A and B are shown apart, each in its own frame.
Chain A
Amino acid sequence: MDNLTYIDFICVAVSLALMLPLMEKKLRHLVVFMIVGISSCLFVSELNNIFLEMFHNEMFYVTTTITPVTEEIIKMIPILYYAIVISDDRRALIPNAFAVGVGFALLENVVILTQNVENVTIFWALVRVFGSGLVHGICTVMVGWGISYIKKRRKFFYCGTFALLSAAIIYHATYNLLVQSDYQYIGVLLPIVTYIPIILLLRKKGIKAN
């Protein structure tokens, strides 16, 4: 059997890519960013595997110390690139950033599903979606939102970006830590508890242009 991760990637990403020509520009951007997120996930999976081997297959250590760093850095690159080269308009940046996170989580869920197909349940699916799915989205939004503030000022840019990345990494690592512990249900609740206030705030105030 060929590599299932790549099969998953082709099934998901190519299907989405085929939709692109039919979409209007704004929507197309979102889908493109989803595909970028999916591709990031594929890239990161290989990178993570290298680190896992490097750290003696210590899954707990790697997933709480290494993979949050690699995943957040890789996910941040397209957002950063978009902000620098294309537009730092917050109204575009935040949804696109979220799309990257969702795309990432999408492939991650599919890959883990195919790796554990005999053990998954509806509950598992809900946990994956509301847990890790949201974590990836929130982390990229955190970075995208921050970049929209600091991009204009060169003096802020480098340090600010790094600081935002640190915050996203810690958030992600905290989730990974909890979800693998006896307190896994708290871990699952963490992104939901974070997501709801953000959504309420944005719905109330809207996303302001820069």
Chain B
Amino acid sequence: MVITPIVSTAPTVSAANRRFISELRVETGEEAVAKLEADGWSVTMVGLNVTADPASQVYLAYKVNTGAALTNVIVSPDVGDSFKDKNGIVYNCVSHVDVDEGIGGGAGCLYATTDERIGSPLVGIDVLRGNSESDDVLYPITNDGAEIVRTPSGTPADIEKGSETDVVYLAQIRDGIIRPYISEIGIVTDTDKWNAVYTACERGFNYYIEGDIDSSSGTYTIIGYDRTANASEAITNITAVSANAVKALEDAQIVDGSAEKTKNVTAAAISISGIEYARVSSKPVEAKEPYYIYMTKDKKAGNPISMLYAETPNQAQNFLFGTWANAYFFSPGKTTAYTYSMNEDLYETLWEDQTVCSQLPVRLIDSFTATATTATGPNYSEESAEEPTTEEPSVEEPSVEEPSVEEPSTAEPSAEEPSAEEPSTEEPSKEEPSKEEPSKEEPSAAESSAAEPSAAEPSAAESSAAESSAAESSAKESSKPAAAAETAGSDKYIDLTMLTPRDGLPDTAPSITGMRSDPSLPFVERTQRSERTNKFQASVFGNSGLWVLIPVGVLVIAGMAYIFYKKRSESKAAETPNKTVKSAKTGKSDKPNSTNKSKKTNKSNRSKKKR
């Protein structure tokens, strides 16, 4: 795969002549806004509390100038004028006013830091409101480049903590919002979408992919991810590996039945075509055939990934593919959140070749053992998975000697990566059975591992185990699972689609609707998502709500009823003289009408006739 140089489109941050948010202030009370504005503060359009009473509303104000820029804001219980977080970042209290004061308090105060280690300077801050009971749910990840303000422990800070239904978040927007590359991904499973997104946010992700990638009905699984402007930090390939295949790999390590503890071996990293992939989830994703997701940042795996998509998981094909994006955050006035361009031919080609990736030979790298042992047990930490081991061992094939099984999988190199010959990597430590061998003849990992002590002593011994074919599920059935061949085209496979840009990102800077043209101005006030460019607004919308309607409606109905009653009594009166005449003829006596009434009646009769 040709790798072309990637040109970062992110604007460079030079604080010298740029203006950022350097001061924040929190005020409450009816006169707060007027006072703040008189003092030269900009006040966010929406208050921090969901209350109609301006006297108890809490307002957030900021100043934008060339002073020391704020780099992060958090909501913390009031612990004094400043405190140091676990990373040694010092936060200063913005104001000792509880941001939830309007509703009852309890959320805490705003603290901010100017420490540059935490990220780029802030150019905007926004108040987001949602109601958990309505369908208009506010998720703690916005996917538009903004970051939800969190608590010191990393959980999203709900400013309306006292309310069971309303949710209010602060969103901070950093400079360098253009971050074209995906830097980290993680799989998050929870009971429903909101909880899954919340958990992803807690884990530090600022983006997630729409769609439940889990086939099980009781859970919601999403992919959370983060972005970077630095191409060298970008993920270059993501692949899914059948849980059965992984199991086969792991089983292949247990060559010595006496070593029970090795049963906890976890394939935290695998080698595909000589490239090391790290696992991003501790549990398999439930699907037609459960699978794990592995990712790599190795440049040999392709160009950086800019976009990920999740397709409906009920399709036989699986869901992931990346493409490059020209712009990656919400543009007001458009219905779609993303604008991206893609080479049609490339898309078509890869779409047709979806199965390619599933047929890739999957082998253990030499360093597998070490990685596996450090990441044993069910509580495998994401961090270790996300950081692929750096050592890419040489193309050494320790398992070559393994007589037993030939690895058919290698015989079917993927179309994309014919280098199926990739041998398993070699463990530097003890293992060195290595013989350079074309992958096609690779013996099964099972054999190789059998020959090895690795099972007993994971860290050292495993080395050779390196070899395990991507034998997918079929491998499991085999007595020597790793040796089993991949059965090409079988619907048991996870069909994975992965697109990486062959030609790199476009040289030109993306044009992004909604950003200010002058980069020195902060991107402070964002247009509401729902807002459309609507030159000729089609309908009229008020803003006071239902309470106005009720008295108005009552008044109108009362008026209508009054007129109706009046008309009715008039028409009854009109009928009365006729009755009088009738009763006179029949000899019955009726009360005579008053003069006025009979005049009225005559009048109305006349008008009727006239009509």
Chain A residues bordering chain B, tally (CB within 8 A):
49
The reply to whether B530 and A58 form a contact with Cβ atoms under 8 Å apart is yes
- Proximity string of chain A (154-182) to chain B, C-beta cutoff 8 Å, 1 when within and 0 when not: 00000000000000000000011001100
The reply to whether A59 and B534 form a contact with Cβ atoms under 8 Å apart is yes
A103 to B531 alpha-carbon distance, docked (Å) = 27
Known: A58-B530, A59-B530, A89-B611. A48 touches B536 (CB 8 A): no
Q: Chain B: interface residue count, which band? A: 20 to 34
User: Looking across the interface, which residue of chain A has its beta carbon closest to that of B566?
Assistant: A85
| Interface SS majority for chain A | helix
Give the chain A neighbours of B539 by CB distance below 8 A: 48, 62-63, 67, 71, 108, 176
Known: A81-B560, A112-B537, A188-B536. A56 touches B552 (CB 8 A): no
Known: A85-B564, A180-B536. A56 touches B136 (CB 8 A): yes
Known: A48-B542, A188-B536. A53 touches B136 (CB 8 A): yes
Q: Decide yes or no whether B548 CB sits under 8 A from chain A.
A: yes
A128 to B540 alpha-carbon distance, docked (Å) = 12
Query: Would you give the shortest CB distance from B587 to chain A, in whole angstroms?
Result: 36
Q: Select one of A43, A49, A60, A132 contacting B532, CB under 8 A.
A: A60
Give the chain A neighbours of B578 by CB distance below 8 A: none
Query: Would you give the shortest CB distance from B549 to chain A, in whole angstroms?
Result: 5
Q: Decide yes or no whether A79 CB sits under 8 A from chain B.
A: no
Q: Select one of B135, B538, B549 contacting A46, CB under 8 A.
A: B549
The reply to whether B528 and A57 form a contact with Cβ atoms under 8 Å apart is yes
User: Looking across the interface, which residue of chain A has its beta carbon closest to that of B567?
Assistant: A85
A39 to B564 alpha-carbon distance, docked (Å) = 20
The reply to whether A49 and B536 form a contact with Cβ atoms under 8 Å apart is no
The reply to whether A127 and B536 form a contact with Cβ atoms under 8 Å apart is yes
Known: A57-B136, A81-B560. A5 touches B535 (CB 8 A): no
User: Looking across the interface, which residue of chain A has its beta carbon closest to that of B549?
Assistant: A46
Query: Would you give the shortest CB distance from A174 to chain B, in whole angstroms?
Result: 11
| Interface SS majority for chain B | loop
The reply to whether B541 and A49 form a contact with Cβ atoms under 8 Å apart is yes
The reply to whether B532 and A56 form a contact with Cβ atoms under 8 Å apart is no
The reply to whether A50 and B536 form a contact with Cβ atoms under 8 Å apart is no
Give the chain B neighbours of A6 by CB distance below 8 A: 544
- Cβ-Cβ contact count across A and B, 8 Å cutoff: 98
Query: Would you give the shortest CB distance from B259 to chain A, in whole angstroms?
Result: 57
Give the chain B neighbours of A49 by CB distance below 8 A: 541-545
The reply to whether B542 and A184 form a contact with Cβ atoms under 8 Å apart is no
Q: Decide yes or no whether A41 CB sits under 8 A from chain B.
A: yes
Known: A59-B531, A81-B560. A46 touches B546 (CB 8 A): yes
A49 to B529 alpha-carbon distance, docked (Å) = 16
Give the chain B neighbours of A111 by CB distance below 8 A: 540
Query: Would you give the shortest CB distance from A72 to chain B, in whole angstroms?
Result: 11
Q: Decide yes or no whether B118 CB sits under 8 A from chain A.
A: no
Query: Would you give the shortest CB distance from A104 to chain B, in whole angstroms?
Result: 9
The reply to whether A42 and B536 form a contact with Cβ atoms under 8 Å apart is no
A3 to B563 alpha-carbon distance, docked (Å) = 31
Q: Decide yes or no whether A186 CB sits under 8 A from chain B.
A: no
Query: Would you give the shortest CB distance from A15 to chain B, in whole angstroms?
Result: 19
Give the chain A neighbours of B218 by CB distance below 8 A: none
Q: Select one of A52, A53, A56, A131 contacting B536, CB under 8 A.
A: A131
Give the chain A neighbours of B611 by CB distance below 8 A: 89
Give the chain A neighbours of B136 by CB distance below 8 A: 53, 56-57
25 pairs, A vs B, C-beta closer than 8 Å = A5-B543, A6-B544, A41-B540, A42-B542, A43-B552, A43-B553, A45-B542, A46-B544, A48-B540, A49-B543, A54-B134, A57-B530, A60-B532, A62-B539, A63-B539, A67-B538, A81-B560, A85-B563, A85-B564, A116-B537, A124-B536, A127-B536, A128-B536, A187-B536, A188-B536
